[in-house]
């Protein structure tokens, strides 16, 4: 569509700035319109342009002294005729043009506009490439398809689809729009699986052939980007092919709402074709001026968003012309010398003239800002309208409902863009529920296995060793093993059939290269790889893996030997220091108990030799309580010591048991660190990723690494050892090593922990939906226990100790028990302190009977209280006092107390 505006200038007269008064406005401005009148867009746009012309002409503020005169040209849906009509319109010395309707015509006329310096304002050409620097005089007054395709990409991502099929008309509008969609999807790790194009005006036969081919493909998400006049033919054919049933997804660009909004009540046949379709509509604010404009259309045909943008385009040009003329700018034209060469062309190109002030008017247009029917009309630095936004609509029943919005600011949201702009918010990235084809609210899967007769090409490693994992079979399936059973069980859980064909990869004489296998899947030689394929970082860059169905990691295996009988093995549970301290505490506790019991217990008395034997006997028999204790302190010490002995005895028993059953390493290899630092050869399984990992990640020389094919070569290499032409250790994944242990009946041992963490998964081509669905199925197998049952069927192994331990490391040292010894020693000291304080107190109160007869009573020297003075403590006397029995001491103390009482009475009754 074109709206041409020209100054009414006769002949070749040039209006100079000096001949125009700044206060004088031209009486008439010609406005030309170029569009297809009999089209979906044209039928809505024609009355909208006429209304805009009338409103401008009646405006007292915009071009008050100038009247716009509309000149209409009909292109009749022809790119060629549209170009001719546009050139003819250019002969009227136009200063600006609104249009065209078609992106194809816009590409051609933009070159003419560049040459003649005539700004083009198009409300219908949405091709993103028209915004390039190649077309400086092209101004888009509607939304750019770049943003619409970004909205569709966000919509696809919102429903977790990764592949779509694009159906589009094969012209500038369709091709460039789908190219923008492809770019937007690639940023979100999605893609266009197939581009189905048809020529403008294609027959129903051609459309049927195209959709029949599309229906054989796996993707069920269709994005339709066509012209409004031919779009419904797509759905008419799809209806006949059964492509509007449950499981299909149809998303259209804004051409479909343009059809629906152009008629008040779409007929039931049309609505029946598009049930469940999701579409985008150019968002326009629901303002008062828009409602007022809509009320004027009552009784007329309904209008779509293109009509609103056309209306605002006329006003945009009017505002810019008003600003341009009021600023004193003049309008002048000059002939283009490139068009003045004599020729016999009937097109009379020589009548086309250059608008001298076109760049000034272009600047005025891009700088104009106002609020129109569509909302704020303002251009950004890229000459696109600011705040691009779309309504997300869903067709259901006999009407259309809005399920959300999309804007370049907030993405998908259920809140209108105007609210988010005013609140500076980004929305919540969600939509209301959608009714899909088949009248279901359940989100379609988005794809099915293709029904084109081609089964899934599944590559299976043809292994030489570990055939329990996967190998060749004579059955119809052709393969068997743990990996195959897991894959089959997962596929059987899918809600759709997956025809598959297993293809052996390798010759079976050696293990194939798994890196090459993954590369072949990425190169589309196979659709998937099913087997013991380890998930590594480099492989995930080129293929998609399922959820791991087997945890795996690299481990180190070395040779072991049986421990020789050792006559002094019973001493190994404890270190030398532990034995010395334990023995010392036995004697210490025996001595402490003897001290505490000597005065009370007759079993702890006798000649010195007997006392020594009692102490030794108590030290080494206290665990059996062969001697009775009667003192409270002695019992306390003995009970605590029995607790300590119980712990030491239990630890000794456990350590001795471990030492007597342990096997010893034949080499110094204790894990991957000691293995890497040595210079001894290392064995790895041929074809696996372990070789590259050892070389690239651990920087181990390739000359040290020896590829081996399987269990028998593993065992022979370890038995020979590095000095006999074998290897010092084997590095392989844990599942293989478990099978190797079963094969060798635990002859070898794992040293150190797993030094990598990975797993086995099924590999698929990038963005394959099967990878996601099978991951869910594998998790379901894990939850219901089927995965473990399959594992036990193929890979269950004998229980082998996975670690070997050095005897010296098993010995228990003093550091393991020092807390117990400290507590025991502290209790002994406290009990001894209490005991000796008590003895000392008794000794000070004690007076031997032998001293009584020789004692001279000197009353003068006694204290005023009648108490006798303290006598000096003799160590010999103290020892003699301690050696007495407790009963004798108590009896002596009682006699001393009675004698002291008598002496006190005599002192009272004696003469003074």
Over residues 399-450, the pLDDT tens digits come to 899 999 999 988 999 999 988 877 766 667 789 999 999 999 999 988 887 6
**Mean of pLDDT values over 313-330:** 88
C-alpha to C-alpha distance for 237 and 204, rounded to whole angstroms: 7
Three-state secondary-structure class, residue 590: helix
Please compute, for residue 522, the number of CA atoms within 13 A of its CA located in the half-sphere on the CB side: 14
| Nearest alpha-carbon partner for 23 in 319, 332, 325 | 325
Paired with 502 in beta bridges are 458
Of the pLDDT bands very low, low, confident and very high (cuts 50, 70, 90), residue 825 is confident
Over residues 883-895, the pLDDT tens digits come to 666 666 666 767 7
C-alpha to C-alpha distance for 473 and 462, rounded to whole angstroms: 10
580 and 640 share one domain: yes
Paired with 561 in beta bridges are 664
Structural tokens at position 332: 């002048």
C-alpha to C-alpha distance for 753 and 755, rounded to whole angstroms: 6
Q: Which of 365-369, 442-446, 879-883 is the least confident region?
A: 879-883
Q: Report whether pLDDT(9) > 90.
A: no
The overall average pLDDT reported for the chain is 82
The pLDDT score that the predictor gives to residue 799 is: 64
Structural tokens at position 297: 């259309």
Q: Report whether pLDDT(204) > 70.
A: yes
Q: Report whether pLDDT(475) > 60.
A: yes
**Mean of pLDDT values over 830-841:** 78
Of the pLDDT bands very low, low, confident and very high (cuts 50, 70, 90), residue 845 is low
On whether the CB atoms of residues 32 and 89 are closer than 8 A, the answer is yes
More confident residue, 889 or 741: 741
**Distance between first and last Cα of the chain:** 150
616 and 522 share one domain: no
Identify the burial level of 638 via C-beta atoms within 10 angstroms of its C-beta, where 0-12 means exposed, 13-18 middle and 19 or more buried: buried
More confident residue, 449 or 737: 737
In a domain, 877, yes or no: no
CATH of the domain at 765: 3.40.190.10
Of the pLDDT bands very low, low, confident and very high (cuts 50, 70, 90), residue 451 is low
Mark which of 640, 661, 682 sits at the end of a domain.
661
**Mean of pLDDT values over 109-134:** 88
More confident residue, 290 or 809: 290
Handedness of CA 262, 268, 272, 278 (dihedral sign): positive
Structural tokens at position 673: 């660190």
Q: Which residue has the tokens 């970082």?
A: 537
The pLDDT score that the predictor gives to residue 478 is: 93
User: In this structure, how many other beta carbons lie within 10 angstroms of the beta carbon of residue 616?
Assistant: 15
User: In this structure, how many other beta carbons lie within 10 angstroms of the beta carbon of residue 245?
Assistant: 14
Q: Which residue has the tokens 């991951």?
A: 775
C-alpha to C-alpha distance for 28 and 93, rounded to whole angstroms: 14
- Calculate the alpha carbon distances from 586 to 486, 812, 824 in Å: 63, 18, 11
Mark which of 607, 633, 661 sits at the end of a domain.
661
Kindly report the length of the chain.
912
Over residues 561-604, the pLDDT tens digits come to 655 666 666 677 778 888 888 778 777 777 777 777 766 766 66
642 and 740 share one domain: no
Over residues 660-698, the pLDDT tens digits come to 665 555 567 888 999 999 999 999 998 888 888 999 889
The pLDDT score that the predictor gives to residue 17 is: 39
In a domain, 840, yes or no: no
751 and 765 share one domain: no
More confident residue, 318 or 609: 318
In a domain, 83, yes or no: yes
The pLDDT score that the predictor gives to residue 907 is: 63
DSSP assigned state of 865: T
732 and 769 share one domain: no
In a domain, 195, yes or no: yes
More confident residue, 460 or 896: 460
157 and 259 share one domain: yes
Q: What share of the chain is helix, strand, coil (3-state, %, to 5)?
A: 45, 15, 40
Three-state secondary-structure class, residue 733: strand
More confident residue, 361 or 196: 196
Exposed e or buried b for every residue in 739-774, given b needs 16+ CB within 10 A? Answer: bbbbbbeeebbbbbebbbebbbbbbbbeebbbbbbb
- Calculate the alpha carbon distances from 111 to 121, 381, 544 in Å: 14, 21, 47
271 and 394 share one domain: yes
φ/ψ (deg, to 5) at 817:
-130, 5
Over residues 131-154, the pLDDT tens digits come to 888 999 999 999 999 999 999 999
User: In this structure, how many other beta carbons lie within 10 angstroms of the beta carbon of residue 41?
Assistant: 26
In a domain, 216, yes or no: yes
358 and 402 share one domain: no
In a domain, 851, yes or no: no
User: In this structure, how many other beta carbons lie within 10 angstroms of the beta carbon of residue 687?
Assistant: 22
C-alpha to C-alpha distance for 318 and 314, rounded to whole angstroms: 6
Three-state secondary-structure class, residue 537: helix
- Calculate the alpha carbon distances from 459 to 7, 368, 487, 521 in Å: 73, 63, 12, 8
SS (H, E, C) 628-654: CCCCHHHHHHHHHHHHHHHHHHHHHHH
Q: Which of 73-77, 283-287, 593-597, 806-810 is the least confident region?
A: 806-810
CATH of the domain at 170: 3.40.50.2300
On whether the CB atoms of residues 177 and 168 are closer than 8 A, the answer is yes
SS (H, E, C) 431-456: CCCCCECCCECCCCCCECCCCCCCCE
Q: Report whether pLDDT(516) > 80.
A: yes
Q: Report whether pLDDT(127) > 50.
A: yes
On whether the CB atoms of residues 471 and 463 are closer than 8 A, the answer is yes
Mark which of 740, 769, 800 sits at the end of a domain.
800
557 and 671 share one domain: yes
The pLDDT score that the predictor gives to residue 804 is: 47
C-alpha to C-alpha distance for 141 and 262, rounded to whole angstroms: 20
In a domain, 9, yes or no: no
E-only strand ranges, 530-656: 543-545, 550-552, 554-561
Of the pLDDT bands very low, low, confident and very high (cuts 50, 70, 90), residue 710 is confident
Of the pLDDT bands very low, low, confident and very high (cuts 50, 70, 90), residue 18 is very low
Q: Report whether pLDDT(798) > 60.
A: no
| Nearest alpha-carbon partner for 729 in 709, 701, 755, 749 | 749
In a domain, 17, yes or no: no
On whether the CB atoms of residues 813 and 577 are closer than 8 A, the answer is yes
C-alpha to C-alpha distance for 305 and 830, rounded to whole angstroms: 98
Three-state secondary-structure class, residue 562: coil
The pLDDT score that the predictor gives to residue 292 is: 86
Q: Which of 130-139, 471-480, 634-643, 701-710 is the least confident region?
A: 634-643
Cβ neighbours of residue 473 closer than 8 Å, sequence gap 6 or more: 479, 480
Identify the burial level of 99 via C-beta atoms within 10 angstroms of its C-beta, where 0-12 means exposed, 13-18 middle and 19 or more buried: buried
C-alpha to C-alpha distance for 137 and 115, rounded to whole angstroms: 10
C-alpha to C-alpha distance for 728 and 711, rounded to whole angstroms: 16
DSSP assigned state of 423: H
185 and 276 share one domain: yes
Over residues 538-567, the pLDDT tens digits come to 999 999 999 999 999 999 999 876 556 666
Q: Report whether pLDDT(781) > 90.
A: yes
Angle at 357 between CA 368 and CA 70, to 5 degrees: 70
Percent of the chain with pLDDT over 90: 39
How many domains does the chain divide into?
A: 5
More confident residue, 624 or 722: 722
525 and 581 share one domain: no
**Mean of pLDDT values over 505-517:** 91
C-alpha to C-alpha distance for 699 and 677, rounded to whole angstroms: 10
The pLDDT score that the predictor gives to residue 452 is: 61
Q: Which domain holds residue 648?
A: 569-661
**Mean of pLDDT values over 776-797:** 91
Please compute, for residue 60, the number of CA atoms within 13 A of its CA located in the half-sphere on the CB side: 0
C-alpha to C-alpha distance for 237 and 49, rounded to whole angstroms: 35
DSSP code per residue over 473-535: -SSSS-EESHHHHHHHHHHHTSSS---EEEEEES-SSSPPPHHHHHHHHHTTS-SEE-SS-B-
| Nearest alpha-carbon partner for 659 in 770, 566, 760 | 566
504 and 367 share one domain: no
The pLDDT score that the predictor gives to residue 573 is: 78
C-alpha to C-alpha distance for 473 and 464, rounded to whole angstroms: 13
The pLDDT score that the predictor gives to residue 568 is: 66
On whether the CB atoms of residues 273 and 236 are closer than 8 A, the answer is yes
On whether the CB atoms of residues 255 and 231 are closer than 8 A, the answer is yes
Over residues 851-864, the pLDDT tens digits come to 443 343 444 444 44
**Mean of pLDDT values over 203-226:** 93
More confident residue, 24 or 379: 379
Q: Which residue has the tokens 């500076």?
A: 424
């Amino acid at each position: 569509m074109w709206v041409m505006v020209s100054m009414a200038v006769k002949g070749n007269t040039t209006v100079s700035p000096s001949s125009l008064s700044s206060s004088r406005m031209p009486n008439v401005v010609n406005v030309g319109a170029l569009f297809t009148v009999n089209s979906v867009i044209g039928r809505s746009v024609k009355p909208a342009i006429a209304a805009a012309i009338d409103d401008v002409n009646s405006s007292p503020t915009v071009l008050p002294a100038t009247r716009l005169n509309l000149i209409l040209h009909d292109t009749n849906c022809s790119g060629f005729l549209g170009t001719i009509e546009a050139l003819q319109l250019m002969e009227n010395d136009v200063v600006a043009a609104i249009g065209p309707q078609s992106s194809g015509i816009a590409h051609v006329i933009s070159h003419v506009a560049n040459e003649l310096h005539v700004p083009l304002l198009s409300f219908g050409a949405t091709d993103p490439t028209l915004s390039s620097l190649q077309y400086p005089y092209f101004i888009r007054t509607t939304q750019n398809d770049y943003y619409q395709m970004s909205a569709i990409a966000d919509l696809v991502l919102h429903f977790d689809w990764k592949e779509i099929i694009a159906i589009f008309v094969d012209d500038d509008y369709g091709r460039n729009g789908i190219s923008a969609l492809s770019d937007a999807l690639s940023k979100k790790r999605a893609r266009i699986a197939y581009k189905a194009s048809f020529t403008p005006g294609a027959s129903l036969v051609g459309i049927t052939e195209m959709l029949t081919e599309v229906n054989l493909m796996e993707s069920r998400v269709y994005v339709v980007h066509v012209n409004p006049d031919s779009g419904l033919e797509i759905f008419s054919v799809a209806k006949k092919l059964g492509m509007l049933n449950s499981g299909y997804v149809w998303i259209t660009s804004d051409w479909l709402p343009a059809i629906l909004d152009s008629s008040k009540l779409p007929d039931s046949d049309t609505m029946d074709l598009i049930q469940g379709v999701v579409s985008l509509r150019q968002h326009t604010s629901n303002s008062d001026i828009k409602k007022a404009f809509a009320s004027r259309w009552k009784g007329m045909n309904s209008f779509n968003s293109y009509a609103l943008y056309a209306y605002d385009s006329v006003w945009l040009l009017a505002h810019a012309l008003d600003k341009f003329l009021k600023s004193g700018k003049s309008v002048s034209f000059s002939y283009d010398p490139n068009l003045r060469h004599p020729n016999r062309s009937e097109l009379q190109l020589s009548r086309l003239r250059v608008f001298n002030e076109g760049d000034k008017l272009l600047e005025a247009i891009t700088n104009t800002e106002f609020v129109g029917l569509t909302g704020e009309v303002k251009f950004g630095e890229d000459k696109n309208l600011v705040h691009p936004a779309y309504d997300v609509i869903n067709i259901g029943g006999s009407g259309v409902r809005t399920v959300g919005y999309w804007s370049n600011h907030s993405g998908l949201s259920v809140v209108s863009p105007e609210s988010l702009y005013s609140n500076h918010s980004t929305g919540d990235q969600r939509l209301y529920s959608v009714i899909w084809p088949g009248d279901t609210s359940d989100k379609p899967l988005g794809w099915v296995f293709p029904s084109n007769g081609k089964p899934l090409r599944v590559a299976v490693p043809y292994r030489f060793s570990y055939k329990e994992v996967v190998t060749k079979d004579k059955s119809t399936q052709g393969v068997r093993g743990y990996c195959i059973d897991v894959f089959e069980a997962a596929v059987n859980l899918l809600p759709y059939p997956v025809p598959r064909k297993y293809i052996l990869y390798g010759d079976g004489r050696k293990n194939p290269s798994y890196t090459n296998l993954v590369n072949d899947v990425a190169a589309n030689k196979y659709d998937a790889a099913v087997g013991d394929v380890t998930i590594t970082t480099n492989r995930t860059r080129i293929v998609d893996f399922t959820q791991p169905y087997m945890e795996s990691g690299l481990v180190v295996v070395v040779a072991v030997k049986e421990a020789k009988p050792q006559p002094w093995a019973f001493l190994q549970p404890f270190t030398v220091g532990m034995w010395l301290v334990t023995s010392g505490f036995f004697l210490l506790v025996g001595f402490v108990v003897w001290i505490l019991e000597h005065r009370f217990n007759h079993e702890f008395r006798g000649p010195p030799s007997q006392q020594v034997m009692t102490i030794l006997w108590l030290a080494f028999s206290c665990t059996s309580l062969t001697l009775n204790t009667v003192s409270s302190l002695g019992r306390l010490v003995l009970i605590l010591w029995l607790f300590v002995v119980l712990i030491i005895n239990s630890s000794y028993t456990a350590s001795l048991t471990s030492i007597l059953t342990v096997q010893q390493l034949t080499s110094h290899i204790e894990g991957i660190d000691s293995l890497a630092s040595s210079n001894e050869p290392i064995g790895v399984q041929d074809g696996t990723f372990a070789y590259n990992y050892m070389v690239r990640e651990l920087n181990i020389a390739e000359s040290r690494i020896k590829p081996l094919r399987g269990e028998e070569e593993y065992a022979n290499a370890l038995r020979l050892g590095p000095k006999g032409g074998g290897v010092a250790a084997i590095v392989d994944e844990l599942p293989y090593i478990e099978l190797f242990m079963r094969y060798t009946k635990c002859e070898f041992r794992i040293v150190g922990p797993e030094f990598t963490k990975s797993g086995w998964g099924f590999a698929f081509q990038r963005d394959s939906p099967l990878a996601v669905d099978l991951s869910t199925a594998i998790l379901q197998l894990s939850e219901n226990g089927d995965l473990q049952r399959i594992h036990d069927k193929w890979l269950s192994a004998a229980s082998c100790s996975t670690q070997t331990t050095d005897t010296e490391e098993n010995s228990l040292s003093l550091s393991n028990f020092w807390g117990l010894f400290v507590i025991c020693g502290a209790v002994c000291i406290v009990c001894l302190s209490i005991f000796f304080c008590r003895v000392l107190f008794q000794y000070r109160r004690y007076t031997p009977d032998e001293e009584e007869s020789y004692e001279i009573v000197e009353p003068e020297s006694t204290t005023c209280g009648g108490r006798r003075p303290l006598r000096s403590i003799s160590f010999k006397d103290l020892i003699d006092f301690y050696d007495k029995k407790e009963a004798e001491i108590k009896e002596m103390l009682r006699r001393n107390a009675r004698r002291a009482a008598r002496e006190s009475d005599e002192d009272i009754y004696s003469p003074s």
